[in-house]
Structure 1
Amino acid sequence: MKKDIEIPEVEGVYIAVVNEFNDVYKTQDWNAYIINDKDQDLDVVLIVTNGYSDQKITSTFRKKIDKLPAKSYAKIELLQEELFALNNQFKVTFFEGNTMFEKTYVFRKNTINERALQAIPLMKVKGVLKK
């Protein structure tokens, strides 16, 4: 039975961590985003995040997005810089049509930093990207 379950490979959906100015608090903040670079809308997007190392694990954060339109993005959460010393994991599950997709994105410890910034699709900003 398990062999009959097919979960297709995820393409065109990314997680980005972006350093941006917060107009309200006048600070530079790191925010995580989910990006849908597909031509199809994503439905019932579930994101489960946490940070971990050999000695430490953070609490689990869950977010649901009812619909993420094609060629769009949505903010997931604010990341405090102290978390960059941990592996930061984003488990993403969504439906495209009647098909369920699932992928885990992991930012390894100390890989979220200013030296790792690159162009982020659709957002016209620089950040750290996981495909």
Structure 2
Amino acid sequence: MKKDIATPEVTDVSVAVVPRMDAGEELWDIYLINAGDQPLENVLVTSQGYGSIDGVDKTTTVLRHFHQSLPPREAIRIEPIQPSLFGINNEYWVSFNNGEHMLDKRYLFKAGTIRQEALRTLPILDRPGVIMS
């Protein structure tokens, strides 16, 4: 029975980490990117970091962000992220309505994957960043 239920795959939706300069200080922001042709409705993003820094277990507070809509081929800033957290796993669960379907996907930036050497030009934002699709 369960095999008969269609579960559409999430495509054209990404989470990206983007650096920015503010008063000479390098800061980073998390963005949700909708590269698809349909708007995302009732978007809920849950974020949490977890892992070990210098042998000490570290878990960040679970944050939840809600956006009514994300138009096609646009991006929204979700939250800032401190570079001190790049040494742990940073997880983002994204749930949204796309037409008649409610979809969700987990995006995981593993410890050490957010770094200057991993930057590439991002779709929609046209800025350098690290992306998970």
Count of paired positions = 129
SS of 2:131's equivalent in the other structure is strand
TM-score (norm. length: structure 2): 0.91
Shift of 1:119: 1.0
Alignment root-mean-square deviation, CA:
1.5
SS of 1:56's equivalent in the other structure is strand
> Which AA in structure 1 matches 2:120?
Q
Structure 1 unaligned residues grouped into runs of 5+: none
Q: Which ranges of 4 or more aligned residues in structure 1 deviate by more than 6 Å?
A: none
> Which AA in structure 2 matches 1:11?
T
* Alpha-carbon distance in structure 2 between the residues aligned to 1:74 and 1:102: 17
Corresponding residue for 2:64?
A: 62
Structure 2 unaligned residues grouped into runs of 5+: none
Name the one with the larger strand percent: 2
Q: 1:1-131 counterparts in 2 under 5 A?
A: 5-22=5-22, 25-53=23-51, 55-131=57-133
Shift of 1:21: 1.9
Identical counterparts, % of pairs? 38
TM-score (norm. length: structure 1): 0.92
